[in-house]
Structure 1
Amino acid sequence: MKLRISHETVYRYDQPIRNLVQSLRLTPSVFEGQKMHDWTIDVSGGIRGPGFRDGAGDWIEGWTVRGPVDHVTIRIDGRIDTRDMAGVLRGHREMINPLTYLRDTSVTRPDPALRELAFGITGTTDQLDLAHKLSAAVSDRIAFRPGVTQTGTTAAQALALGEGVCQDHTHALTALARLRGLPARYVSGYLHSTIDGQAHDAAHAWAEIQVEGLGWIGFDAANRCCPDERYVRLGSGLDSADAAPIRGIAMGTGAEELDVSVRVEEMPQ
């Protein structure tokens, strides 16, 4: 599938900031399932710093904006070819030991309810089958409903609420997988459409679980599927904060507002 992606993030400040330093993980991953044709990142008034590929295989760029400024706009425009790899992350080069992803964070730390759900799945010794069943369990227990959770909502809170968005499904699934001894991580990216064909106009998230003999395999519990040609992978981490496409520090005392728009379009073959 040929996709064009336009992504704009605007930060607005009620008082001008003195300086802004950002780390951007906004370049698509390099693996057999996707190939970039062109990809442009622009930060208004920004000075591009050095870029590097980290141990997880993600490309990260540093940017600095010198103030005073009352708004900063980050624009991404690019074209990419994708193909269905049945969720398998084949050909992705990284150096971090998968066992690193057995570590919990503040938002994936399990409570008794998550433990009960994880160990309530029995009757299988196959890791791939177990991973599919864990993903299905999250899909069954957390309904997709925007606006009911926040950035800092934990996996335990989302499970108790029974509702959430892709971030909550992914945190819950990584928590369950780690409880069962399967390394799991949070993946950020884009989605062209949902499984029923409805347009998807926001950044997306899903989990990757390490399966013996196959490596990393993606599971999107929010859409009850594995990533296919509709997905564009950007990067990964232990949780949503660790895998955030944009991280930074603004130097100033004013309040910040954020507007995000994403458009993922299929191009003619």
Structure 2
Amino acid sequence: MLLTVTHTTRYSFSEKVSHGLQRLRLKPKPTHGQEVLEWDMDLAGAKPEAEYDDQHHNHTELVSIEPGVPEVVVTCRGIVRTIDNNGVTGMHTGHMPLWCFLRATPLTRAGNRVRQLVASIEADRGDTLNFLHALSRSIGEQVEYVPGTTDPSTTAEQALAAGKGVCQDHAHIFISAGRLLDIPMRYVGGYLRMDGKVEQEAGHGWAEAYVPGLGWVGFDVSNEICPDERYIRVATGCDYSEAAPVTGIAMGAGETRLDVHLSVDEKVVGTQQQQMSASGGQQQNQGG
């Protein structure tokens, strides 16, 4: 599948910025069943300083905010070819050893709620894949998808206790629970083409678990499926903080307003339009 992405992030400042630096993880990974055919980034109010691949092999760009600007606008446009691997992204590669994905982080540290969740799963723990599917279903049943009820600092324990959250919270709970059973887990940030909805308010997040014999396998708790060709993997990490698309500081900015515009659509080539009309896809409703 060919997917087109336009992603605009706008930061508006109430005061003049004296100094600022942002770290951008916005370019999709050219691995694991996807190929980046085109990708361009435009900056307004900022300039590039450096770029590198971090410890999770996320392409990272550092940009500095130009002093005195009222806003910074980052616009990415690209085309990515994806395939459906039934959620399997393959064996582990990269700089981080698998044991790093077993450690608890502030956002995924398990407490009583997560421990009770794991204890309630009746599936055979010896069958890792089956247990993880049962875990995903249980989280979806216990934590309602409600946008605006949590923020990036919400922990897995807090979201589980509240019984509501968004894709980031579903993924963090799933990761927290899996690590209790010594299953390597990681967070994935990216894009999702939702059926019948091109314009979106945010990117998407899900989790991957390392399953012996298969390697990394994705689980989208919010949509109750393993990721398919409608998903674009952009960044991975031990939790959201290591895969966040934009992080940084702005000195003297006063109040900061964030606006995000995102569109993800399929690029139709030749007779593909007729094929799409004749076949449907599973509805995807939750993107952030």
TM over 0.5: yes
Structure-1 separation of matches of 2:79 and 2:100: 33
> Could you list the per-position Cα deviations for residues 31-90 of structure 1 after superposition, in whole angstroms to 9, with x for gaps in the alignment?
141111110112213222222122322111111122111100010111111111111113
Counterpart residue number, 2:213: 213
Q: Check the 8 A contact 1:31/1:90 in 2, yes or no.
A: no
Identify which range, 245-254 or 164-173, moves more after superposition: 245-254
After superposition, the Cα gap between the structure-2 partners of 1:184 and 1:91, relative to the gap in structure 1 and judged at 3 Å, is closer
Structure-2 separation of matches of 1:92 and 1:182: 13
Structure-2 separation of matches of 1:120 and 1:261: 40
Structure-2 separation of matches of 1:91 and 1:180: 20
Q: Check the 8 A contact 1:119/1:180 in 2, yes or no.
A: no
SS in structure 2 at match of 1:17: coil
Aligned-partner residue type, residue 161 of structure 1: A
Counterpart residue number, 1:41: 41
Aligned-partner residue type, residue 210 of structure 2: Q
Normalising by structure 1, we get a TM-score of 0.94
Q: Check the 8 A contact 1:8/1:76 in 2, yes or no.
A: yes
SS in structure 2 at match of 1:89: strand
Trace 1:26-105 onto structure 2 (pairs within 5 A). Answer: 26-90=26-90, 93-105=93-105
Q: Check the 8 A contact 2:17/2:251 in 1, yes or no.
A: yes
**Gaps in structure 1 of 5+ consecutive residues:** none
Normalising by structure 2, we get a TM-score of 0.88
Are 2:33 and 1:8 aligned? no
> Could you list the per-position Cα deviations for residues 169-193 of structure 1 after superposition, in whole angstroms to 9, with x for gaps in the alignment?
0111111111111111111001001
Q: Check the 8 A contact 1:51/1:62 in 2, yes or no.
A: yes
Bigger share in strand: 1
Counterpart residue number, 2:272: none
Q: Check the 8 A contact 2:92/2:216 in 1, yes or no.
A: no
SS in structure 1 at match of 2:88: coil
Structure-1 separation of matches of 2:186 and 2:10: 28
Q: Check the 8 A contact 1:38/1:78 in 2, yes or no.
A: yes
Counterpart residue number, 2:280: none
Q: How far off its partner does 1:151 sit? A: 2.4
Are 2:157 and 1:160 aligned? no
Structure-2 separation of matches of 1:242 and 1:49: 20
**Gaps in structure 2 of 5+ consecutive residues:** 270-288
Trace 1:112-261 onto structure 2 (pairs within 5 A). Answer: 112-124=112-124, 125-193=126-194, 197-199=195-197, 201=200, 202-261=202-261
Q: Check the 8 A contact 1:2/1:79 in 2, yes or no.
A: yes
Q: How far off its partner does 1:101 sit? A: 1.1
Q: How far off its partner does 1:102 sit? A: 1.1
After superposition, the Cα gap between the structure-2 partners of 1:249 and 1:176, relative to the gap in structure 1 and judged at 3 Å, is same
After superposition, the Cα gap between the structure-2 partners of 1:15 and 1:189, relative to the gap in structure 1 and judged at 3 Å, is same
Could you say what the CA RMSD is over the residues aligned between the two structures, in angstroms? 1.5
Structure-1 separation of matches of 2:182 and 2:6: 38
Give the aligned length: 266
Aligned-partner residue type, residue 219 of structure 1: F
After superposition, the Cα gap between the structure-2 partners of 1:157 and 1:33, relative to the gap in structure 1 and judged at 3 Å, is same
